[in-house]
Structure 1
Amino acid sequence: MVSLSKTIFKAYDIRGIIGKTLDAGVARQIGQAFGQAALAKGERTVVIGRDGRLSGPELAAALAQGLQAAGVDVIDLGVVATPMVYFGTHALDARSGIMVTGSHNPPDYNGFKMVLAGEAIHGDAITSLYQRIVDHDGASAATPGSYRTHDIRAAYLERIIGDVKLARPIKIAVDCGNGVAGAFAGDLYRGMGCEVIELFCDVDGNFPNHHPDPAHPENLQDLIRCLRETDAEIGLAFDGDGDRLGVVTKDGQIIYPDRQMMLFAADVLTRHPGQQILFDVKCTRHLAPYIAKSGGQPLMYKTGHSLVKAKLRETGAPLGGEMSGHIFFKDRWYGFDDGLYAGARLLEILTREADPSALLNALPQSDSTPELHLELKEGENVALMDKLRSDAVFPGHEQIITIDGLRVEYADGFGLARSSNTTPVIVMRFEAETPEALARIQAQFKSVILAAKPDAVLPF
């Protein structure tokens, strides 16, 4: 038996290592606590699903037992992508759902992404589940909840295929990295009229080929090679649970999500002129002007898929997106992040062009770094950011944005340092018009960080 650890209750989800911080016993406790929280909001039914991880069946079964012990009815969707559980909370008679997923983490991880009464829970709402478990007297509901299975596959695929229309047939390559998206991606895009080359679409929780995380270029090399060697026009890649999208052009360029957002925003704004378009602090400085030029109001916000979802609901924005690959369509969809659906919407736009890669490659871009991580000890990241906020001086800057860490804007680029909400890390990203400007901005950040913490081991 693994003893309950507060460390698995993260900012946006619950995540642990199987046999060390997470097992069936912990999953059952989480189910019962979530069930109680659902009942407190007047919810009687919870939808659950799981990705392709080897620990999934045992955790999902225990989760269901916990939910039933709280007196909640369970609808089990089986092996699905995370967005299919979210879809279930709209399509079925249930507004709450739990997905058993380790997302893009290594094979020995697993966890839970949760929607409670129609809202993706985060922060204090997740910590309060821990407190419920600690305070619980061990009693079960007098009448346990019911359990039934439900196959949502056809309804989900039909909902997308019925709405998203291609302008012409297209041949695509799809790399699912042996994640759960592989069970659905081929059928979805073929149903829309694509010819599909499938790479690593057999679901295998060992991830034998490469890690299912399209945010890292090394995981896209097979897809790049496939596009080079075949007549496929475009490549789509998905993370382990199917809520994030990666895109590769015919000539091997990676189109990161902040540039994907330019196309999505321009399209959505044709139907929602003048509306706000939401994006996180890690996105390129070219995105805001592109949104404005397309007739929208750019709104920069904090990083975190649950936080963006909450802000989307608050503002009524028809579209939101994160640099990490979570794209949220409220236009023609439900406002949750869905990599498979984002891929469908991208293909709808790209098939209007004779050369989709030319359209993607023409999107504005600058020299930039990927996400860089300054690894620290537990708690040091928060203390360091506090010190930088109070003491750091950035000569020549035009603006400092403090909604999430420090994003320092210059005439020719930006630098970002923000504290991760999930690990003891300072996340950094840099972008500039020239390699020289990029080096100058990085050097400035290096000097202020070392002034605040002389023993910091910087990743650049």
Structure 2
Amino acid sequence: MTQINPNVFKAYDIRGIFPTQINTEFALLLGRALGARTKQLGHTQFVIGFDGRHSSPELAKALSTGLQDQGLEVINIGMVPTPLVYFYTYAHHIGACVAITGSHNPPDYNGFKMMLDGKAIYGEAVISLKQEMLSLDQQPLLKASGSEKNINIIPDYIKRICSDIKLARPMHIAIDAGNGIGGKVAPELFRSLGCTVDELFCDVNADFPNHHPDPADPHNLEDLIKHVKESDCEIGLAFDGDGDRLGVVTKSGEIIWPDRQLILYSQDVLKREPGATIVFDVKCSRHVAEQIEAAGGTALMWQTGHSLIKQKMKDVNAALGGEMSGHTFFKERWYGFDDGLYTGTRLLEILSAYNNPSTVLEALPQDKNTPEIKVEMQEGQPHALIKVLQEKASLPTAKRLITIDGIRAEYEDGFGLARASNTTPVLVLRFEGRNEESLARIKAEFKAMLKEHAGIDVVI
């Protein structure tokens, strides 16, 4: 009987260390389980693609074997960024896919991002896969007559974007892929749009020898900032390990975090879709809602998690969505999935209308704020603590408490957030204030609340 580690089944995907937690036997069983679900939904095809990690090709092969055992036609698009897996699936109305990727995790990790019936699967739909896999492990292979075909979709992906995105003028940019799989496509894509591209670490190297491929960490943007400052580049773009998140730096070296980027995208989309709904997560700046509404849009705050944002966008027919983590979802003119490469092209389309793009980006509203502060706890503790805080917390100067995901306190001059991570046992905190005094006061209220209800003295 195959041993299956329950800890690899996360809120939004499957992730673990290869080969101790995830291996080819696991991938084969996962393929059989997903294949069975796909057949039940009436689909006959399944798209797979994989990132540049050492273990990805063998996991892809095993996953494909499991899918074929259920009689499915597997369309293997090879080593590509995660968004290209979604692109082919949506563009050809197939409905089911898996991207094999460790995203921005360390080199010995890998995982599976899954979509069935045109929707990302998350929560219980991920957790329940474990039991289905164990059940199938007790049953003989079906030896069904599935098949696999291998295709290269990169030219079609670039052609589709170039048919949609038109730059007002050629731009000179730098791209840092952090040796992740985004480097396989991004330079060619942006050159096809007419850009001059300086490449930093765009060769795919699963050992990530230069820096970690995670633009959410400022340290990982230091090389890009240095290059943009010292070269003729107007702007710098950075992609995470599997290409579904975007980081942006200006000529002066300022990092434009994703919630500020979302303001710019919202203003642009609302010119063509007046009154459209735009979804954003609880970690975003208070300026996001204010600016969406000022531009005539409907601002909708929702739970953190790329799968949750995508589902909410479908529920309310939103034109755009975004997360503080860097996932941006364009439904207007695109397919509604998170694609860091496409997001970068939309950014340049907007900025190419200006002679000084950095001035436009740096003018976006911004308060004093903190990055995510992560307080490590024991498994299960963060969610239990949040439940207590939602029921009993007192935050004296807050004007409103939002409890859709943790506890977010809205103030006249900022916000404070405490939420439980859905992927690791940590309490996530984030704070924003109009000035340093506002920020300090809000942090002090949260610190007192955590001391009273959790007995923890956090450094924030």
Q: Common fold, TM-score beyond 0.5?
A: yes
Q: Provide the C-alpha distance between the structure 1 equivalents of 2:144 and 2:177, rounded to a whole number of angstroms.
A: 42
The SS at the match of 2:286 is coil
- For 2:281, the equivalent position in structure 1 comes to 280
- For 2:309, the equivalent position in structure 1 comes to 308
- What are the Cα deviations for residues 381-427 of structure 1, in whole angstroms up to 9, with x where unaligned? 11111111112100111100111110001111110001111111111
Q: Provide the C-alpha distance between the structure 2 equivalents of 1:386 and 1:91, rounded to a whole number of angstroms.
A: 41
2:95 is aligned with 1:105: no
- For 1:297, the equivalent position in structure 2 comes to 298
Q: TM-score, normalised by structure 1?
A: 0.98
1:47-446 paired onto structure 2 within 5 Å: 47-92=47-92, 94-136=94-136, 137-446=138-447
Q: Provide the C-alpha distance between the structure 2 equivalents of 1:459 and 1:173, rounded to a whole number of angstroms.
A: 36
Q: Provide the C-alpha distance between the structure 1 equivalents of 2:143 and 2:228, rounded to a whole number of angstroms.
A: 58
Say if 1:96 and 1:117, in contact at 8 Å, map to a contact too: yes
Distance apart, 1:94 and its partner CA: 2.0
- What are the Cα deviations for residues 191-228 of structure 1, in whole angstroms up to 9, with x where unaligned? 00000000000000000000000011000000000011
Distance apart, 1:135 and its partner CA: 2.1
Say if 2:447 and 2:457, in contact at 8 Å, map to a contact too: no
Q: Provide the C-alpha distance between the structure 1 equivalents of 2:188 and 2:4, rounded to a whole number of angstroms.
A: 40
The SS at the match of 1:46 is strand
Q: Provide the C-alpha distance between the structure 2 equivalents of 1:101 and 1:231, rounded to a whole number of angstroms.
A: 34
Q: Provide the C-alpha distance between the structure 1 equivalents of 2:114 and 2:175, rounded to a whole number of angstroms.
A: 27
Distance 1:315 1:149, change over 3 A: same
Say if 1:255 and 1:360, in contact at 8 Å, map to a contact too: yes
Q: Provide the C-alpha distance between the structure 2 equivalents of 1:214 and 1:240, rounded to a whole number of angstroms.
A: 9
Distance apart, 1:89 and its partner CA: 0.5
Distance apart, 1:144 and its partner CA: 3.0
Q: Provide the C-alpha distance between the structure 2 equivalents of 1:181 and 1:344, rounded to a whole number of angstroms.
A: 14
- What are the Cα deviations for residues 164-183 of structure 1, in whole angstroms up to 9, with x where unaligned? 00000110000000000000
Q: Provide the C-alpha distance between the structure 2 equivalents of 1:449 and 1:270, rounded to a whole number of angstroms.
A: 43
Say if 1:376 and 1:425, in contact at 8 Å, map to a contact too: yes
Number of matched pairs: 459
Say if 2:2 and 2:134, in contact at 8 Å, map to a contact too: no
Distance 1:260 1:106, change over 3 A: same
- For 2:38, the equivalent position in structure 1 comes to 38
The SS at the match of 2:397 is coil
> Which one-letter code corresponds to 2:265 in the other structure?
F
Q: Provide the C-alpha distance between the structure 2 equivalents of 1:135 and 1:2, rounded to a whole number of angstroms.
A: 11
Q: TM-score, normalised by structure 2?
A: 0.98
Q: Provide the C-alpha distance between the structure 1 equivalents of 2:183 and 2:372, rounded to a whole number of angstroms.
A: 26
Say if 1:53 and 1:205, in contact at 8 Å, map to a contact too: yes
2:15 is aligned with 1:21: no
- What are the Cα deviations for residues 35-62 of structure 1, in whole angstroms up to 9, with x where unaligned? 1111110111110000011111111111
Q: Provide the C-alpha distance between the structure 2 equivalents of 1:64 and 1:276, rounded to a whole number of angstroms.
A: 38
Could you list the runs of 5+ residues in structure 1 that have no partner in the other structure?
none
> Which one-letter code corresponds to 2:55 in the other structure?
S
Q: Provide the C-alpha distance between the structure 2 equivalents of 1:228 and 1:405, rounded to a whole number of angstroms.
A: 39
Q: Provide the C-alpha distance between the structure 2 equivalents of 1:327 and 1:405, rounded to a whole number of angstroms.
A: 22
- What are the Cα deviations for residues 119-165 of structure 1, in whole angstroms up to 9, with x where unaligned? 11101111121121122232223523101101111100100011100
Say if 2:121 and 2:307, in contact at 8 Å, map to a contact too: yes
Say if 1:2 and 1:21, in contact at 8 Å, map to a contact too: no
Q: Provide the C-alpha distance between the structure 2 equivalents of 1:144 and 1:405, rounded to a whole number of angstroms.
A: 48
> Which one-letter code corresponds to 1:157 in the other structure?
I
Q: Provide the C-alpha distance between the structure 2 equivalents of 1:71 and 1:33, rounded to a whole number of angstroms.
A: 12
> Which one-letter code corresponds to 1:66 in the other structure?
G
Q: Provide the C-alpha distance between the structure 2 equivalents of 1:289 and 1:261, rounded to a whole number of angstroms.
A: 12
> Which one-letter code corresponds to 1:379 in the other structure?
G
Q: Provide the C-alpha distance between the structure 2 equivalents of 1:183 and 1:201, rounded to a whole number of angstroms.
A: 7
Q: Provide the C-alpha distance between the structure 2 equivalents of 1:441 and 1:94, rounded to a whole number of angstroms.
A: 48
- What are the Cα deviations for residues 399-456 of structure 1, in whole angstroms up to 9, with x where unaligned? 00111110001111110001111111111100001112111111111111121222x3
Could you list the runs of 5+ residues in structure 2 that have no partner in the other structure?
none
Distance 1:410 1:228, change over 3 A: same
RMSD: 1.1
Say if 1:2 and 1:23, in contact at 8 Å, map to a contact too: no
